[in-house]
Structure 1
């Protein structure tokens, strides 16, 4: 049996990851592939329980180190119980966020990128996607989309200040530049259909 493929969708708030994940999944199913849609934090029973801990409560609920450990624990369960079994049976797995979000959101302050990668090596044996699709969007458009989606409410991470989210965007861009074989930047502007087509083009060499 041919092993499946693991694709992560990354980007800042309002980039359209969730919308595009559903559209990409539909396009892949139309090609006869089994597709598993999942997300982080979450994607397994244990990881969903941790998701609730991470995304609710006050901004200072967790220290940076505790937050990073919780993300790593959720990812370890997600990989072991959802992602690997699906890949082993030949399915394609699409995840709304994965390791690169932890690197961008948790690995640029008290903790370094190296720290986050070490936690991932311990928790998930360094497991990486076959391809990471980084959705790029101008800040003003992304902010408007996020506001339309969330109104005046957001989770404890999405609600952080503008400077924080600018650093996140810079980190994602750096990953795309440094790891170009895995991380592909995809323009997320324009119609949803056009963006989905760009995503498929970015996967052309992996498609059966």
Structure 2
């Protein structure tokens, strides 16, 4: 947990799990209830970060290590320009992905040593850690079925074995720190998931007035 006035809420999960939808629903809830907050996504959220995002999603020249360095560059820019100032001013920050994505995708799925990823990520994130993290968990089969009619990016075109490894990585991370993580079954109705998140969020951080 950060020693900063604001709070950092992170959403993670495999492709198609619904984390972006839930991030946006939480942002709308905060907006409707006049709760000062900032919604960001990784990679992206800045002009340079969005350019890096495009490279990561579409370039066929990358491997796991080059992905890690690009993600870390985008993350450092986003943290320094937007996330840290928001937290210092007392805002709630909702982040659609954080450095746990690197641990799961580049670590568990690509095979890069976890300690290397941790070291790079801590530097890129400027020692900032989430106050609560939600893992929206679905199976690779569910992920594929939700994306079947979409134009797929480079990560979405990966094999089922890759996505299984990503999911296993997330579950391992979440189960190793149950004080931080809340695992949500993502195959439920979108509104039911949203309401479960609000309940768990209030239990952990008491952000929501009754």
Partner of 2:57: 55
Residues 174-195 of structure 1: CA deviation (Å, up to 9, x unaligned): 0111011112101222211100
RMSD: 1.6
Partner of residue 44, structure 2? 42
Cα displacement string for residues 97-121 of structure 1 (whole angstroms, at most 9, x for unaligned residues): 1111111000123412111111112
> Which is further off, 17-26 or 43-52?
43-52
Distance in 1, Cα, partners of 2:122 & 2:95: 19
Give the whole-Å Cα distance in 1 for the aligned partners of 2:96 and 2:168.
19
Unaligned residue ranges in structure 1 (runs of 5+): none
Determine the C-alpha separation between the residues in 1 that align with 2:84 and 2:194: 25
The answer (yes or no) to whether the contact 1:107–1:115 under 8 Å persists in 2 is no
Report what 2:7 is aligned to. Answer: 5
1:32 aligns with 34
Q: 1:170 aligns with which of 143, 160, 168?
A: 168
Residue 49 of structure 1 aligns to a residue whose secondary structure is: helix
TM-aligned CA deviation for residue 38 of structure 1: 1.1
Distance 1:19 1:85, change over 3 A: same
Q: Determine whether 1:114 maps to 2:115.
A: yes
Shift of 1:39: 0.5
Change (3 A) 1:126 1:107: farther
Query: How far apart are 1:21 and its partner, in Å?
Result: 1.0
Kept after mapping to 1: 8 A contact 2:133/2:182: yes
User: Where in structure 2 are there 5+ consecutive unaligned residues?
Assistant: none
Q: TM-score, normalised by structure 1?
A: 0.91
2:201 matches 1:200:
no
Shift of 1:124: 2.4
Matched, 1:103 2:86: no
1:146-176 CA distances to partner (integer Å, 9 max, x unpaired)?
A: 224x2xx211122111100000000000011
In structure 2, distance between residues paired with 1:207 and 1:78: 26
Q: CA deviation at 1:73?
A: 0.9
> How many residues are paired up?
202
